[in-house]
């Protein structure tokens, strides 16, 4: 499993997926190797997975690719020594230029293509063109593509004529809330609105802040997140918030118990992500029973359905949704329970891991090849 920061999962959706899938495959008797960068785990194994730590250039545009490059060379070297992998799972289409290394060593590979990264504002010019090219290379050089949302699956079909395997993420289902953690942070259940997002324009944190400020909401807005590479956008958010005492920026929250308590205790969770597929933060909110108000795009409607959430498209409609929830907290709670039920039924990590196991078996048996992915000429 290559292309992420690795495990233990401390960063994002890819890392959580690697941990949840890898631990289950290991428990089923498979030998799972995870390539890692950044903070080093004390042991060489974690939850049954073998960890290989390799360096990377600490630059935004090069960190992922340099680490993946070293990782595929390491895997290829093991293959030469007849100790290499039967299958490689590569996360992030941006790593596609490195797939020929694996193919040269006859290692079947599935690429998890992620969302529409080239649509992110932080990539423009050469960066945008790179991600668009990488998508086409993933189609050309993968034995299988993995889409975590039907909307992503449709995109690859429409743009490239390429097939992909639909495997979503799983949702952590939270049965109990640590109200003590919530009280320590100064909040009470149902007493605030919540945003959890990396500060990027396509996550629409600006709409959440602007819309909330326009509302007549009495309960505060708690904003969790930061912008590692975008001080300008952070400044924009602070400007939109102005001197409104109802809006509180917490920065990054790394205490996972506190974060769970915030999800579960919020009157509404405002979800603005728009260019990913099945978003892990949305699933986490649903699994915590949060009443979700989501940006109106196909990915979010796919995950929530029509009964388990509300949607907004601009600041005015978000303001109205916030006021609606405060006027009818019982209705908001009912939608939260519907969201938890939907997550528990549709987004189950055991099912996800079983689908990955089946995919790996098909790759190893050569039932999936480039001919099953690439468009017919």
pLDDT at 258 over 70: yes
Please report, to the nearest 10 degrees, the dihedral formed by the alpha carbons of residues 303, 309, 311, 316 taken in order.
-150
pLDDT at 376 over 90: no
Question: What is the distance between the alpha carbons of residues 101 and 75, in angstroms, rounded to a whole number?
Answer: 9
Please report, to the nearest 10 degrees, the dihedral formed by the alpha carbons of residues 61, 66, 67, 71 taken in order.
150
Q: Tokens 């519907």 appear where?
A: 338
pLDDT at 196 over 50: yes
pLDDT at 115 over 50: yes
pLDDT of residue 62: 81
Q: How much is the average pLDDT of 21-26?
A: 98
pLDDT of residue 194: 98
pLDDT in tens, 4-21: 999 999 777 889 999 999
pLDDT at 84 over 90: no
Percent of the chain clearing pLDDT 70 (strictly above): 95
Q: Which of 139, 124, 138, 190 is nearest to 377 (CA)?
A: 139
Domains and CATH numbers, the chain: 13-169+349-373 (3.40.50.2000), 179-346 (3.40.50.2000)
Range with lowest mean pLDDT among 79-88, 195-204, 237-246: 79-88
pLDDT of residue 118: 47
């Amino acid at each position: 499993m290559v292309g992420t920061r690795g495990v233990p999962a401390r960063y994002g959706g890819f890392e959580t997926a690697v941990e949840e899938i890898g631990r289950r495959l290991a428990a089923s008797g498979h030998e799972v190797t995870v390539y890692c960068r950044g903070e080093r785990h004390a042991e060489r194994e974690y939850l049954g997975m073998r960890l290989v730590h390799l360096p990377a250039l600490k630059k935004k545009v090069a960190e992922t690719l340099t680490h993946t490059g070293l990782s595929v060379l390491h895997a290829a070297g093991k293959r030469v020594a007849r100790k290499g992998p039967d299958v490689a799972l590569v996360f992030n289409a941006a790593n596609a230029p490195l797939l020929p290394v694996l193919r040269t060593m006859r290692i079947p590979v599935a690429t998890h293509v992620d969302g529409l990264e080239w649509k992110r504002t932080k990539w423009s010019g050469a960066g945008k063109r790179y991600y668009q090219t990488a998508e086409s290379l993933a189609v050309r050089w993968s034995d299988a593509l993995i889409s975590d949302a039907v909307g992503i699956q449709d995109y690859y079909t429409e743009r490239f004529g390429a097939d992909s395997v639909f495997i979503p993420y799983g949702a952590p289902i939270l049965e109990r809330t640590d109200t003590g953690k919530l009280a320590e942070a100064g909040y009470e259940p149902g007493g605030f609105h919540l945003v959890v997002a990396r500060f990027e324009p396509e996550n629409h944190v600006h709409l959440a802040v602007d819309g909330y400020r326009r509302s007549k909401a009495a309960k505060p807005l708690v904003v969790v997140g930061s912008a590692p590479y975008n001080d300008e956008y952070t400044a924009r958010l602070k400007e939109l918030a102005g001197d409104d005492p109802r809006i509180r920026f917490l920065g990054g929250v790394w205490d996972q118990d506190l974060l769970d308590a915030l999800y579960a205790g919020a009157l509404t969770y405002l979800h603005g992500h728009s260019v990913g597929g099945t978003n892990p933060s949305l699933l986490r909110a649903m699994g915590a029973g949060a009443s979700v108000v989501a940006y109106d795009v196909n990915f979010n409607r796919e995950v929530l359905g029509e009964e388990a959430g509300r949607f907004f498209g601009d600041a005015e409609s978000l303001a109205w949704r916030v006021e609606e929830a405060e006027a009818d907290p019982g209705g908001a709670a009912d939608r939260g329970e519907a969201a938890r039920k939907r997550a528990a039924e549709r987004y189950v990590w055991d099912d996800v891991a079983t689908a990955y196991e089946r995919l790996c078996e098909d790759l190893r048996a050569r039932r999936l090849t480039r001919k099953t992915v690439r468009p017919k000429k």
